[in-house]
Structure 1
């Protein structure tokens, strides 16, 4: 084993192996190394031209797929990987976002779908920044950019680039109509980027055509325009009844049709290619399913996918639905379901399929703010009695843990830990009130739910109270550090990946899109509501930390910047609390599989030592 050199803090221990058993060691690593692939995105006017991302090379990169010839080609080859790409409508170009070492700051470039030519800056007159939306037409290209000055939106038409919108608050490109006459933008001129409004602009002069805002605390999300030329209907997410639902907005006539589906939970959707039906992805209690909604008859029919997670879906011109599916027990597969119901694997990436893992079960725990849903996993060969347990807290915060395949969850089970994933207040999929309950008191509100689930896990006999570890990345890392300081008696150790550790310093250094988000979440900036930031910041409670701490952070992270992490570690170093630090050369996480494996090994080995299993 080795330790990480080169910084002033105690270095994280990098184990040579996690398990003495060679088969167990090979199995956990194989889950991470197994090639994965996203659902292909095709050019709307040339559906044989497809783009997807895959980790087949050991790094997440962009690939092309020509369905007419069957040829697959790796498009990008960058040390820290590439995740954002899309084809032009005619299939001649592949656009991808070019940042530096994962810092998310850069510009869109394009290169021909056919191999041979190098990538070029796609719209030369647009300055670098954080991406804020992209729509590519045959005549109109719209690009959104965010910087410390706010948001700026550009259009490139007939060889000329125009800045048509600029605002200090968060805004972005949302959708371009099929005939390219209308463009929808999302904006937060009302001061709340978490609940945005929509504006329709004519691409001839960018004058407003229509506006839609549902009022305070009710956001709108533009999904996509109808794929039929001349049809100006826009598919929109709204939350007028306390959860995310669908409506169709005829932007030309400024009329709308709300779509009420007899489904619990929340939904998102896209169009069938003839615009006569919608492909609906339904989310409820950590699982998702696919449905077809006929707009003329109002009939909703299930596509009968098994319980698990839909990771992406789209409808081909012939009506075939292509989608990604996995469950906690079964690895991800990209599948195709024809209009007559035949379902098969669409793409098999090269290499061995990932070994499976254990299923998850549901726990519903009463909490201060209502019933909390958690997903629980036990090692397959676990002995009777309470187990060491890792409480794995998701990022976001507006996200959710799901019944999906996770190599990360699986290695904790292999190591003998039970895993509890908590969909605390702030999580999506449980209604607007649940999601927004953290406003004005973020972090501490979520941890009330984590505490309730922790109590349940101990009282039910699942968890050994002396061997509970709290961990997470991003917002989950923030919650982990906050838990160590505000709930010190609950935790034997804490692991925080790319966390917010000092919220005031994080606000000063983070990307403007997140500052806008934080102002909406906290009720203002650190200057206007300093007490809230102080109360909700992990560094405030560093003196109360008693358990060992592991922190992992990226040098180029624009979301949870490195300086504020160092502020926390400086304070922690003044105390006699064991802690370790791992610093890596990337941004908000890594797209390099070997680096992900290394960080996972560091985390699990740290936890094993902290609870006395090593």
Structure 2
């Protein structure tokens, strides 16, 4: 680090009222669990992730005995795990301090043995898909040279695919004869193509590519033995929809499911129906779609967010649900329609929060959807934080967020903007940022900011812009290109110097950037400069807080230091918090510390503390 940057201040207490202070901390500290996954042929062997230990780790759940066991115990946590189909093994991805670079290891489901590298002769790298069968497994690895896919069977490992372009293992058929891979040999990793190969000799069976700007995603093969149907997500009509592809006959059936917004799905165990996850205007819902009759039946989940769902062998549907006011819960819906809580994490439930409303604002590229929350205060013209989501291909939803809730507790109105680039609003909206990323999204943020001020919600002198990852990038870019709008900025793990970020980031991110910009910085130097926050650092006038992880492969630390050095030379008020992890933290105490730093910084910048 070339400059000694001013350290961020950590408050002993964020909120003056003891009850409010205890409430916001309790939301983060409360134990939570994910929707469980289970072994294909041993569904009593389930796994999930939970923060019950204070760190997000993998847990094993033996449903027959109703026993739970913490599987992983690492300083920076573990999120990626799966089971072997026979339920005998748990596989989890072992990286170093959150850097996302490492290998798959495995240990017995019952425990008692230290985890060991699962396939010894597959090199370490960034994960690029994993499919485990009884007799064959396929694993993908990404590195600086591109992507490599390996198969292991009969004690031997073979690299069956390698490319300078992004690729990954996508789906394995139930009888393990067919393997689907996703690739971007056409040069656009944001809109991949599919190839199905034989696991016998790795020869090609079928190909599918919908052309420029139209991606395909292999979701899952049919759960029936001998059934070569693959469920595929496509975007031929300008939004994410589904088709069923019989890869051996190379025939397909597009599913005409009449729902607004976009859909994803998975198979019911009998392969006669699909579980549909529907997303529309920040909320999701579940349906059952009968393939023979095309009948669509709602599973009657309340408005909010579905945070994962799956169908058990008996036809019951397990899913996570929350909305902005109500904390998440994992539930199970039986085929006859009864619904109950499935998994209760230990300890007390987290305190609830306030609901969100909707704002639809006309922007330069069309109608922008934003979620709006108001604190319980008798005040007009509120201090307002604009929370910009990461991705960019993601969306803010009507879901429970302890992070949103603490800003409300601190007296801020909260505005979450689903700018162009967000998912769930059609392909054109998502892809509108191509060729001009960052600046395009901020046009939408500006339109929503104008609405928030003109409607009387936001005090124009007390508006904060905040976000992490892509949201952190947009925050720094906004501070430099829209300095008159913002009284403070909070940027977590941001892209700050795009050219330096490209040089240091993982190859999967470089491929994404090339697809987004239309080329590399060497090919499009002026465009990368135009879209980089460091270009506008001379215009920044509001106080800035930056948080970054030492081991982040997505938004590496060097390019952030470049930006901070420029801020320091201008003597702009700023603070820096640097921590020993990757692209965020899975440690609850660390998360609480960072949240306190962020909100305290904004309150001080606005004279609220």
Shorter-chain TM-score: what band? over 0.9
1:451 to 425, 446, 449: 446
Equivalent residue for 2:337, pick from 336, 341, 366 = 341
Matches within 5 A, 1:264-283: 264-283=260-279
Per the alignment, residue 328 of structure 1 pairs with 324
C-alpha distance in 2, partners of 1:446/1:282?
Answer: 24
Q: Deviations over 1:129-161 (max 9, x none)?
A: 000000000001100000000000000011000
Work out the CA distance in 2 between the residues paired with 1:588 and 1:6. 22
Q: How far apart are 1:377 and its partner, in Å?
A: 0.2
CA positional deviation for 1:576: 2.2
Do structure 1's residue 594 and structure 2's residue 589 form an aligned pair? yes
Out of 369, 378, 387, the residue aligned to residue 373 of structure 1 is 369
Q: How many angstroms does 1:240 deviate by?
A: 0.3
Aligned pair 1:166/2:162, yes or no? yes
Q: Does 1:511 align with 2:506?
A: yes
Which residue of the partner structure matches residue 181 of structure 2?
185
- 4+ long deviations beyond 6 Å: none
> What is the CA distance between 1:7 and its match in structure 2?
7.5
Distance 2:463 2:248 in 1: 57
Q: 1-side partners of 2:593 and 2:44: how far apart? A: 38
Question: Residue 49 of structure 2 is aligned with which of 43, 48, 53?
Answer: 53
2:311 — aligned with what? 315
The equivalent residue for 1:245 is 241
Structure 2 match to 1:612: 607
Check if 1:234 corresponds to 2:230.
yes
1:81-121 deviation digits (Å, cap 9, x = unpaired): 00000010000000000000000000000000012011010
**1:202 corresponds to:** 198
Name the residue aligned to 1:489.
484
Cα offset, 1:21, TM superposition:
1.5
Question: Does residue 1:121 correspond to 2:117, yes or no?
Answer: yes
Aligned to 1:70: 66
Shift of 1:489: 0.1
Kindly state the Cα deviation for residue 612 of structure 1 after the two structures are TM-superposed.
Answer: 0.9
Q: 2:215 aligns with which of 203, 219, 234?
A: 219
- Alpha-carbon distance in 2 for matches of 1:540, 1:342: 57
Q: Could you report, residue by residue, the CA deviation over 1:488-507 in whole angstroms, capped at 9, with x for unpaired residues?
A: 00000000000000000000
The reply on whether 1:107 has 2:103 as its aligned counterpart is yes
TM-score by length of 1: 0.99
Cα RMSD, aligned residues only: 0.9
Task: Give 1:433-448 correspondences, 5 Å limit.
Answer: 433-448=428-443
- Aligned partners of 1:26 and 1:431: how far apart in 2? 41
Write the distance in 2 (CA, Å) between the matches of 1:443 and 1:383.
36
1:32 aligns with 2:28: yes
In the alignment, the residues of structure 2 paired with residue 120 and residue 590 of structure 1 have an alpha-carbon distance, to the nearest angstrom, of 24
1:520 match: 515
TM-score (norm 2): 0.99
Does the Cα contact within 8 Å between 2:2 and 2:565 map onto a contact in 1? no
Out of 279, 282, 285, the position equivalent to 2:281 is 285
Match among 356, 362, 365 for residue 360 of structure 1: 356
Q: Determine whether 1:558 maps to 2:536.
A: no
Distance 2:225 2:13 in 1: 57
Measured against aligned partners, the alpha-carbon deviations of 1:255-305 in whole angstroms (never above 9, x if no partner) come to: 000001110000000000000000000000000000000001000000000
SS of residue in 2 equivalent to 1:127: coil
Could you tell me how far apart the structure 2 residues matched to 1:232 and 1:43 are? 21
For residues 202-251 of structure 1, give each alpha carbon's deviation from its aligned partner in whole angstroms, at most 9, with x where no partner exists. 00110000000000000000000011111110000000000000000001
2:377 equivalent in structure 1:
382
Residue 257 of structure 1 corresponds to which residue in structure 2?
Answer: 253
Q: Does 1:150 align with 2:149?
A: no
Number of residue equivalences: 609
Matched with 1:463 is: 458
C-alpha distance in 2 between matches for 1:328 and 1:531: 41
The answer to whether the 8 A contact 2:80-2:93 is kept is: yes
Whether the aligned pair in 1 keeps the contact of 2:104 and 2:118 (CA below 8 Å) is yes
